[in-house]
Homo-oligomer: A and B are copies of this chain.
Amino acid sequence: MINIRQLFDQDTWTFTYLVFDDESKESVLIDPVLEQINRDLSLVERLGLTLIGVLETHVHADHITAANEIRTRTSVKIYYGSKTGVKESDVLLNDGDRIQLGNYFITAIHTPGHTEGCTTYFIDNKLFTGDTLFIGGTGRTDFQGGSAEDTFESCRNKLFIYSDSTLVYPAHNYEGFTVSTVGEERSWNPNVGDGTTKQGFINNENKKDRPYPRRFDVSVPANMKCGSVS
């Protein structure tokens, strides 16, 4: 059976996910945060798991990934979407590529929009949507090759094709929600839900005046090297 543990970094409101197969005990970490590396690796150990990979949904602008440090300590592989251009990644994933986890597979879905290289990961009945699809929202589209049109098409054509009961686990939430479903996002998401239009969303995105991310200049260059800060 596939199990997950949702982990939360207070400082950046980032969700990290430990995904594991409880038969083979193989596990991956999705979007681990550098400052939380000891917590996350302790949990892997407590649960008796073997960590086989770190999966990044995108090149984060708000925190530095723990990927490189985890690779240094444990020899796991790092996975990024191919459009991120992260050359120090061990595997660059194309749309539809699969990663074996015990008797299961994790499917990489290229979902550009927040950034050009955004990847959603699907396993079991769960979508790990990064900053592409939020609970009641979507990630900003004004840097790193972001595109409102791409976000709309990614959500509509790549994510909302999953069944309504599919769980949606995003990389952030700022209201205290932890999970949603495809059905709820189709019904209620004010940006890309069934009642919205692509042009309306593009117009709204273009109107938004958003603050420069406070850690952008540190996070992005580090994360382009898998979080290497040396």
Using a CB–CB cutoff of 8 Å, the interface residues on chain A facing chain B are 5-10, 36, 39, 43, 46-47, 175-179, 184, 187-188
Q: A9 to B47, alpha carbons, bound, how many Å?
A: 27
Q: Are A176 and B39 in contact (CB under 8 A)?
A: yes
Q: A179 to B7, alpha carbons, bound, how many Å?
A: 9
What is the total number of copies of this protein in its complex?
2
What are the nearest 9 A-B pairs in CB distance? A8-B176, A6-B178, A7-B176, A46-B188, A9-B176, A39-B175, A46-B184, A10-B176, A36-B176
Report chain B residues within 8 Å CB of A46: 184, 187-188
Q: Nearest CB to that of A165 among chain B residues?
A: B22
Report chain B residues within 8 Å CB of A7: 176-178
Q: A176 to B16, alpha carbons, bound, how many Å?
A: 9
Q: Are B179 and A5 in contact (CB under 8 A)?
A: yes
What are 25 residue pairs bridging A and B, where the CB atoms are less than 8 Å apart in the complex? Answer: A5-B177, A5-B178, A5-B179, A6-B178, A6-B179, A7-B176, A7-B177, A7-B178, A8-B8, A8-B176, A8-B177, A8-B178, A9-B176, A10-B10, A10-B176, A36-B176, A39-B175, A39-B176, A39-B177, A43-B177, A46-B184, A46-B187, A46-B188, A47-B184, A178-B178
Q: A1 to B179, alpha carbons, bound, how many Å?
A: 17
Q: A186 to B14, alpha carbons, bound, how many Å?
A: 29
